[in-house]
Amino acid sequence: MHNYGYFEKDQIGTIKDVGLWRRILRYSYPYRFGLAGAVLLSLCIMVTSLWLPRFMQQGIDGFITQNSMPMPDRVDGLGEIAILYGACVVFLFFSGFLQVVVLEWIGQSIMHSLRQELFSHLLRLDLAFFNRQPAGRLVTRVTNDITNMHEMFTSVMVTLFNDFLKILGILCLLYIMNVKLALLMTLFLPLSVWITIIFSKLAREKFRAIRTQLARLNAFLQEAVSGISVIQIFGRERESHHKFKKLSREFRTRTFSQIKLFGTFMPLTEFMGSAAVAMILWYGGGEIIEKRLTLGEFVAFLSYMRLFFQPMRELSQKYSIVQSALASAERIFLLLDSKSKIHAPESAVPIQSVRGNISFHNVSFGYEKDVPVLHDINLEIREGETVAIVGATGSGKSSLINLLVRFYDPWNGYILLDGTRLSSFDPIALKKKISIIQQEVVIMPDTILKNITVDTQRKRSELAGLLGGIGVDGFIGQLPQELDTIIGEGGRDLSAGEKQLLSIARALCRDPMILILDEATSSIDPETESVVAAALSKIFKTKTSLIVAHRLSTVKRADRIVVMDQGRIVEEGPHDSLMVQQGYYYQLVTLDQHFVSAGFKRNISI
């Protein structure tokens, strides 16, 4: 079957994995007192429930069948038994309610902590990790896999061993009451245990198959929703629906397979219980007739039998839940154990002030092993210099930028910032000194003010000059609440040009010493671009700037142009000098002008 970009790990958590249990229980430690209280309540519930058949026995043998006892005494005795029985039932109700509340609170708290830890860990991983992982798979980890662990924390961990104690307690009581009847019932025990073990193993595989298919379904759905515009533009609705239908049908098939397994096991367990009751009725009835067994003992014995097979059924189900939860826990911990290749050194060099001198020394890099996209790059960028990077699609321009902001580390060579290797800085501190304006703008569902200031502490009054200088105040002033207007998901939608203007304002708000423009003005109309260009030309004089742009007007303003082809620098120099050389850059410019005059959209970065 096609995975549609999702590949599930083969590891399955097992109940014998001590290390996995130790790690899971570590999350329960802060709530150990609540768990201890839940265990105490569970023990009280178990003991109380085992007393109920004994009350029935006392009522039948002590009063109902005692014809020689005066009727008022029999009624009064039954009334006392009924009061005790009712009091136990009320105690069971409130104890069960309190236990559920405590366990749910503990379970939800643990899930909340685990979910926060997992999401926080994801935010610290490098881009290379996300390039290898489908988004739907990661969503499944944070949502479905954590949910799978919920029931284990809420009920299974506390009641699993209590079910064992209940089974042992019932067996002891049955043997105390009547050895022969207990031996007769014990004949069904090996068969019941064997069926439970078989069911648990099969259920574990069913759970895993369902969870794997659900992850595939989530992965495809996330990719389809995020790429809905492409699907509609190329008319792929029918094909996408067919793929989703196929994945959904397989999920239904696997779920139904699990239902059939449960549908077989439950009646089989009931059948064994009914067969045991039939045997007890046959043998126990003869014992009553021969006066070797009282009616009360017989009724209590049947009640204990019913209580005996109930935890047997629950143990098998809870065992399956534990297996499912352990499999999810293993995958969650595998994700938590994933290490970012981009990390801060133990003794990071502090970044007090950045002048902006950048040096690439014999830098080679690739996204996949043995597939390099940059070859022996040597490049010097001086403080305050504006450098444009041009080249055909796939020439390595964006890869060069990705290395500079340290989204990735080079395979070979190194990059210096003011004479210090980038790997010597804390990546978070480094990114605060560099602002990158990309073509694809990410808008947060918040106010325009929050989208501009982001991680800075700049106040509203400080933004007026900045917004006016790049022409952003124009469209912001036309909005209903101006800077307080909600945008993004659930708010006002912005045009592509407005989003890019907002992205430029966001980058400049940080007052970086290194400014990177990666197709930053490609969606802005020429009139607005001239305003932005005038503002940027002033900013370029005080900052080290790198520009990747389609438009010739943007490239020509650069102090120096670096021309790339197939991961190598083939030319560099001012625009006029490169045009005179009539080399690769000259060909790009000529081809671009030809496309523009013919009315085609640019697809060459110049």
Amino acid present at 227: G
**pLDDT averaged per 10 residues in sequence order, the chain, 606 residues:** 40 61 82 85 85 85 80 84 90 88 86 87 81 74 80 70 77 82 79 76 75 79 77 77 88 84 77 79 81 82 80 69 76 82 75 80 85 87 86 82 85 86 81 78 75 73 71 73 69 67 78 79 64 68 79 74 86 85 81 59 48
| 13 contacts 330 by C-beta, under 8 angstroms | yes
In angstroms, the CA 35 to CA 158 distance is: 7
The reply to whether 455 and 581 lie within a common domain is yes
Same domain, 253 and 391: no
Q: Rounded to whole angstroms, how far apart are CA atoms 208 and 201?
A: 11
Q: Which tokens belong to 488?
A: 């993004």
Q: Specify burial of residue 597 (Cβ count, 10 A radius: 0-12, 13-18, 19+).
A: exposed
- Asked if 363 and 377 touch (Cβ cutoff 8 Å), the reply is yes
User: d(Cα 146, Cα 329) in Å, to the nearest integer?
Assistant: 8
Using a 10 angstrom Cβ sphere, with 0-12 exposed, 13-18 middle and 19 or more buried, the burial of residue 112 is: exposed
Residue 103 lies in a domain: yes
Query: Does a structural domain hold residue 365?
Result: no
Do 406 and 427 touch, CB atoms closer than 8 A? yes
Please indicate, yes or no, whether residues 172 and 270 belong to a single structural domain of this protein. Answer: yes
Give, in order, the Cα–Cα distances in Å from 100 to each of 97, 261, 342.
5, 28, 44
Residue at token pair 């640019």 = 602
Q: Tokens 């005038």 sit at which residue?
A: 534
Structure tokens that stand for 7 in this block? 């590949």
How far from chain centre, in Å, is Cα 593? 48
Whole-angstrom distance, CA of residue 387 vs CA of residue 573: 9
CA distance 496 to 512: 24
Does residue 398 belong to any structural domain of this protein?
Answer: yes
Domain boundary among 321, 336, 351: 336
Q: Give me the pLDDT at residue 87, please.
A: 92
Containing H/E element for 51? helix 32-59
Q: What is the pLDDT of residue 527?
A: 65
CB 579 within 8 A of CB 589: yes
Residue 377 near residue 364 (C-beta atoms within 8 A): yes
* Residues 266 and 396 reside in one and the same domain: no
Q: Give the C-alpha distances (Å, rounded to integers) separating 5 from 131, 219, 231, 283.
A: 12, 7, 17, 62
Q: How far apart are the C-alpha atoms of 424 and 426, rounded to whole Å? A: 7
The 3-class SS string of 152-187 reads: HHHHHHHHHHHHHHHHHHHHHHHHHHCHHHHHHHHC
Q: What's the pLDDT score for residue 65?
A: 79
Q: Do 398 and 323 share a structural domain?
A: no
> 228 and 133 in one domain?
yes
Which residues neighbour 586 within 8 Å (Cβ) at sequence distance 6 or greater?
578, 579
Closest to 503 (Cα-Cα) out of 548, 546, 547, 442: 442
Instruction: Please give the DSSP secondary-structure letter assigned to residue 348.
Output: P
Q: Contact, 541 vs 535, CB < 8 A?
A: no
Last residue of a domain, one of 336, 364, 394: 336
Q: Which residues make beta-bridge pairs with 407?
A: none
Q: How crowded is residue 470: how many other Cβ atoms within 10 Å of its Cβ?
A: 20
The reported pLDDT for the residue numbered 91 is: 92
Asked whether residue 222 is domain-assigned, the answer is yes
Count of beta carbons in the 10 Å neighbourhood of residue 544: 24
Q: What residue numbers bound the domain in which 214 lies?
A: 18-336
CA distance 20 to 32: 18
Residue with tokens 């944070």: 142
Alpha-carbon gap, residue 558 to 556, rounded angstroms? 5
Amino acid at the residue 494: L
Short-list 162, 170, 166, 168, CA closest to 301? 170
The vertex-111 CA angle with 110 and 117, nearest 5°, equals: 90
Radius of gyration of the chain (CA): 36
Quick one: 33 and 123 in the same domain? yes
With tokens 């004994």, the residue in question is: 54
SS3 549: coil
Q: Is residue 106 part of a domain?
A: yes
DSSP string, 368-409: BTTB-SEEEEEEEE-TT-EEEEEEETTSSHHHHHHHHTTSS-
Domain boundary (301, 336, 371) is at 336
Same domain, 147 and 241: yes
CA dihedral of 257, 259, 264, 270, whole degrees rounded to 10: 170
- pLDDT score, position 587: 82
Tokens 């400049």: give the residue: 508
How many CB atoms within 10 Å of residue 542?
Answer: 12
Q: Same structural domain for residues 276 and 398?
A: no
Residue 224, amino acid: A
Q: Are residues 400 and 331 located together in one domain of the fold?
A: no
Kindly state whether residue 359 falls inside one of the protein's structural domains: no
Report the domain count for the chain.
2
Q: Are strands 420-421 and 412-417 parallel, antiparallel or unpaired?
A: antiparallel
65 and 200, same domain (yes or no)? yes
Instruction: Return d(Cα 36, Cα 361) in angstroms, integer.
Output: 61
Statement to judge: residues 151 and 242 lie in one domain: yes
For residue 158, give the CATH number of its domain.
Answer: 1.20.1560.10
Spatial distance between the Cα atoms of 261 and 201, rounded to a whole number of angstroms? 11
Where residue 551 sits, what CATH number does that domain have? 3.40.50.300
Instruction: Assess if residue 2 is contained within a domain.
Output: no
User: What is the phi/psi pair of residue 521, to 5°?
Assistant: -115, 20
Q: In this structure, is residue 303 part of a structural domain?
A: yes
Ranges of beta strands (E only) in 484-574 are 514-518, 544-548, 560-565, 568-573
